[in-house]
């Protein structure tokens, strides 16, 4: 499979950390169903939310895969399943060949060092009663990475500097910091474990544009310096295009399209991807005046009762009768370009 | 086009225990009849406080409008008594807030909330108000409007709720609508639907709109004119073309450079504005952006640059505005 950096016209030097051919993560037919229960004492399951309904993808070492979609599409749940914050209903998550879903909690601890996550909300993901220094050193303590307190302290200061924060921040508390600074703390905490793979779950979404650009650059610098692999989960298609090598689009628990970054943005195939790209306003007034502004009809259905067949068919322009009956296969239409639609 | 709203040197300050926060400190802009004006800026720049000041919705304590004038249709809104401003809110000036869940009352039906506004501001019978409510819901694209009138806000999705809020804002045929981050809480496909609806309705009904947003794409798509705010002041204003293709303030320039573009293959690393926005209670007399500005000179610390015209349509508040192009290249 070719990668984004091979695409013509791309300035390779800007993607200095190139993906290798080695597969780091292989997600096979991942399913995550949540029961909806009713009743106070005797709980009965009245429905199931199919948050993730059979997704397949691989991430290579050094690669950044973007996972994009609207609320309730299952992108966050997919990320949480990988790091085992949710126990997947079905499917496999192979990390360098080891199936993470089969590990018990003790065995998983080892992998937690390699896989870290950065959350969206820098306000709720840091303990307000701990100093920044304690927040960053806690994982090192828990995982026994550095047992000596003095050394740990040195490492904390090093991480703060690396993430663009002053060393005196170690003594401060989260409430004394701005959103951008807190997000840098979240990144420093993830880096403390020397991870190989970081899941960035809407890591820059809550930040103002000027601060967002700073944090994006930091994530890219770190990727380059430590050869990190990212799963970059976001609803922001502009950020995804900037930072990712490859992109996967999700809708209502299903993956609808996956391709190299530029290929997906320049030749989108799935009608949902097209609609999504059409909906995003571009900061360029003349270009905006020239665009058609076609609006996709309807709303996202409830994941509790998704439409039959292709989940996008009620909103789709290309839909034919068979779309409501059979689930379209996720097939490779061009090398590296996958799509779940029969009409393209 | 005649000027509908004129904000003149507005100052809204918050008197907190940590000091006086000058959230809005000398903001002036105008809105013509039927036009869409955007106010763009990052969190805490004062864009929402300016909008709330127009309708005098600033809670005291701690906030207070301490100076300036807001002229709407010839009246200074700051001179009106409480009843006078209440008559205006929702009638001549409609408001759309960011969070549709909190701007609708959860214990009242959609129908009651829609007819309440109508009956408060116009001499209309309940039956007529019901008819009008059905018509309004149809206008904003809500299916089965009769049934929706009986429903409560929690029955509706976020996009539907925002449609109801738009219907309420339009119900008394206002001359101006203030939309404060109207689509920030919504998904992109729904955002596009709502913005398209707002654009369509404002153009069709000839309503002027102030759209407050941090999204530079939304501004490019919908605004005729743009005001860029930073630390409680407008630092640049002009047509959308002026501001996007010919920015004259270092902050505008930096802001445009720091957003990744979806329509272009990645060219280079982003060029962010370094540093943090200033603390609004610690401002000195100089330009508030100078600490983050790569064009700053000695004069920037001495006094705040006035907002001056550089062309017929564009104004900039920067001491170095004439040297910017030369320095940037």
Q: What is the pLDDT of residues B167-213, one digit of tens each?
A: 999 999 999 999 998 888 788 888 888 899 999 999 999 999 999 99
What is chain B's mean pLDDT, rounded? 90
Q: In this complex, do B262 and A277 lie within 8 Å of one another by their Cβ atoms?
A: yes
Contacts of A28 (CB under 8 A, 6+ apart): A56, A91, A92, A93, A94
Length of chain B: 329
Q: In this complex, do A208 and B42 lie within 8 Å of one another by their Cβ atoms?
A: yes
In chain A, positions 205-264, which contact chain B (CB-CB < 8 Å)?
208-214, 216-217, 220, 235, 237-239, 241-243, 261-262
Does the residue A192 lie in any domain? yes
pLDDT exceeding 90 applies to what percent of chain A? 59
Question: So what's the pLDDT on residue A4?
Answer: 35
Query: Any bridge partners for residue A104, and if so which?
Result: none
Does the residue A280 lie in any domain? no
Does the residue A332 lie in any domain? no
Question: So what's the pLDDT on residue A187?
Answer: 93
Question: So what's the pLDDT on residue A17?
Answer: 64
Q: What angle in degrees, to the nearest 10, is found between the helix axes of B110-121 and B158-170?
A: 10
Whether the per-residue pLDDT at B30 is higher than 90: the answer is yes
Give the H or E element holding residue B102: helix B100-103
CA angle B114, B119, B124 (to 5 degrees): 115
Q: Which of A242, A279, A293 sits opposite B270 (nearest CB)?
A: A242
Question: So what's the pLDDT on residue A300?
Answer: 85
CA angle A103, A31, A4 (to 5 degrees): 90
Domain count, chain A: 1
Alpha helices by DSSP H, B140-249: 145-149, 158-170, 188-205, 216-222, 240-245
Whether the per-residue pLDDT at A106 is higher than 90: the answer is no
Whether the per-residue pLDDT at A294 is higher than 90: the answer is no
pLDDT exceeding 70 applies to what percent of chain B? 100
Instruction: For residue B30, give both structure tokens.
Output: 């105008």
Most confident of A178-182, B105-109, B325-329: B105-109
Does the residue A298 lie in any domain? no
Cα gap A136→A260, rounded to integer Å:
35
Q: In this complex, do B189 and A293 lie within 8 Å of one another by their Cβ atoms?
A: no
Closest chain B C-alpha to A262 CA, distance in angstroms? 6
pLDDT band at A12 (very low <50, low <70, confident <90, very high): very low
- Note the pLDDT tens digit of each residue in A14-34: 555 678 888 999 999 999 999
- Hunting for tokens 């904003």 — which residue is that? B140
Does the residue A94 lie in any domain? yes
pTM more than 0.80: yes
Question: So what's the pLDDT on residue B74?
Answer: 86
Does the residue A304 lie in any domain? no
CA angle A307, A39, B161 (to 5 degrees): 50
Rounded to 10 degrees, the C-alpha dihedral B100/B101/B105/B107 comes to 150
Whether the per-residue pLDDT at A54 is higher than 80: the answer is yes
3-state SS of A77-130 is HHHHHHCCCCCCCEEEEEECCEEHHHCCHHHHHHHHHHEEEECCCCCCCCCCCC
Cα gap A204→B144, rounded to integer Å:
39
Domain interval for residue A15: 4-270
Q: In this complex, do B266 and A10 lie within 8 Å of one another by their Cβ atoms?
A: yes
Cα gap B82→A179, rounded to integer Å:
38
Q: In this complex, do A14 and B267 lie within 8 Å of one another by their Cβ atoms?
A: yes
Write down the ipTM of this complex: 0.85
Count of A-B CB contacts under 8 Å: 152
Instruction: For residue B214, give both structure tokens.
Output: 């941090």
Cα gap A316→A327, rounded to integer Å:
14
- Hunting for tokens 């002009």 — which residue is that? B238
Does the residue A102 lie in any domain? yes
CATH label of the domain that carries residue A38: 3.40.50.300
Question: So what's the pLDDT on residue A14?
Answer: 54
Cis peptide before B87 (omega within 30 of 0): no
Cα gap A172→A297, rounded to integer Å:
49
Most confident of B101-115, B233-247, B268-282: B233-247
pLDDT exceeding 90 applies to what percent of chain B? 55
DSSP line for B123-171: ---HHHHHHHHHHHHHHTT-SSHHHHHTS-GGGS-HHHHHHHHHHHHHT
Whether the per-residue pLDDT at B272 is higher than 90: the answer is no
Does the residue A308 lie in any domain? no
Whether the per-residue pLDDT at A219 is higher than 80: the answer is yes
Question: So what's the pLDDT on residue A15?
Answer: 56
Cα gap B212→B229, rounded to integer Å:
11
Query: For A3-12, A43-52, B111-120, B168-177, which range has the lowest pLDDT when averaged over its residues?
Result: A3-12
């Amino acid at each position: 499979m070719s990668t984004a950096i091979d695409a013509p016209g791309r300035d390779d030097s800007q993607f200095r950390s190139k993906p290798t051919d080695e597969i780091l993560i292989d997600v096979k037919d991942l399913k995550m169903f949540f029961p909806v229960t009713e009743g106070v004492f005797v709980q009965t399951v009245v429905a199931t939310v199919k948050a993730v309904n059979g997704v397949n993808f691989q991430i290579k070492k050094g690669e950044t895969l973007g996972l994009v979609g609207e609320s309730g599409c299952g992108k966050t749940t997919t990320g949480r399943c990988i790091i085992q914050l949710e126990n997947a209903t079905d499917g496999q998550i192979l990390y360098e060949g080891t199936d993470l879903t089969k590990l018990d909690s003790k065995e998983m601890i080892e992998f937690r060092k390699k896989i870290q996550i950065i959350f969206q909300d820098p306000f709720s993901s840091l303990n307000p009663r701990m100093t920044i220094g304690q927040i960053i050193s806690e994982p090192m303590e828990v995982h026994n990475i550095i047992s000596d307190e003095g050394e740990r302290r040195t490492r904390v200061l090093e991480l703060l500097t690396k993430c663009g924060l002053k060393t005196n921040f170690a003594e401060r508390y989260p409430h004394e910091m701005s959103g951008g600074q807190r997000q840098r703390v979240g990144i420093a905490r993830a880096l403390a474990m020397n991870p190989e793979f970081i899941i960035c779950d809407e890591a820059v979404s809550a930040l103002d544009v000027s601060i967002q650009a700073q944090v994006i650059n930091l994530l890219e610098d770190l990727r380059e310096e430590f050869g990190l692999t990212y799963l970059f989960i976001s609803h922001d298609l502009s950020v995804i295009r900037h930072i990712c090598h490859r992109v996967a689009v999700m809708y209502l628990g299903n993956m609808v399209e996956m391709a190299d970054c530029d290929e997906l943005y320049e030749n989108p195939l799935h009608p949902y991807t097209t609609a999504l790209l059409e909906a995003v306003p571009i900061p360029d007034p003349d270009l905006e005046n020239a665009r058609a502004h076609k609006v996709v009809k309807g709303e996202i259905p409830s994941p509790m009762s998704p439409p039959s067949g292709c989940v996008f068919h009620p909103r789709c322009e290309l839909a034919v009768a068979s779309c409501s009956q059979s689930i379209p296969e996720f097939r490779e239409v061009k090398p590296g370009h996958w799509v779940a639609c029969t009409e393209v | 086009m005649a000027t509908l709203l004129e904000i003149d040197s507005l100052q809204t300050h918050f008197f907190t225990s940590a000091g006086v926060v000058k959230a809005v400190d000398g903001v002036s802009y105008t809105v013509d009849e039927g036009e869409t004006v955007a106010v763009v800026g990052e969190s805490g720049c004062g864009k929402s406080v300016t909008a709330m000041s127009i309708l005098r919705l600033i809670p005291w304590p701690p906030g207070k409008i301490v100076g300036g004038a807001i002229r709407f249709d010839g009246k200074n809104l700051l001179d009106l008594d409480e009843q006078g401003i209440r008559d205006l809110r929702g009638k001549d000036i409609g408001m759309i807030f960011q969070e549709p869940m909190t701007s609708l009352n959860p214990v009242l039906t959609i129908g009651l909330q829609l007819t309440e506004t109508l009956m408060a501001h116009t001499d209309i019978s309940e039956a007529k108000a019901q008819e009008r409510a059905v018509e309004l819901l149809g206008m904003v694209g809500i299916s089965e409007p009769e049934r929706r009138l009986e429903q409560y806000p929690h029955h509706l999705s976020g996009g539907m709720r925002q449609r109801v809020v738009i219907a309420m804002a339009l119900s008394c045929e206002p001359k101006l609508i203030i939309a404060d981050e109207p689509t920030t809480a919504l998904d992109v496909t729904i955002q596009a639907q709502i913005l398209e609806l707002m654009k369509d309705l404002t153009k069709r009904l000839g309503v002027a709109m102030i759209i407050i947003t941090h999204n530079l794409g939304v501004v490019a798509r919908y605004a005729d004119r743009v005001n860029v705010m930073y630390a409680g002041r407008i630092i640049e204003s002009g047509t959308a073309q002026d501001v996007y293709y010919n920015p004259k303030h270092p902050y505008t320039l930096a802001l445009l450079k720091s957003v990744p573009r979806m329509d272009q293959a990645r060219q280079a690393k982003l060029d962010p504005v370094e540093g943090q926005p200033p603390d609004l209670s610690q401002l000195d007399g100089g330009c508030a952006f100078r600490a983050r500005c790569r064009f700053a000179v000695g004069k920037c610390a001495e006094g705040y640059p006035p907002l001056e015209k550089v062309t017929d349509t564009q104004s900039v508040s920067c001491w170095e505005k004439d040297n910017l192009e030369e320095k940037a290249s």
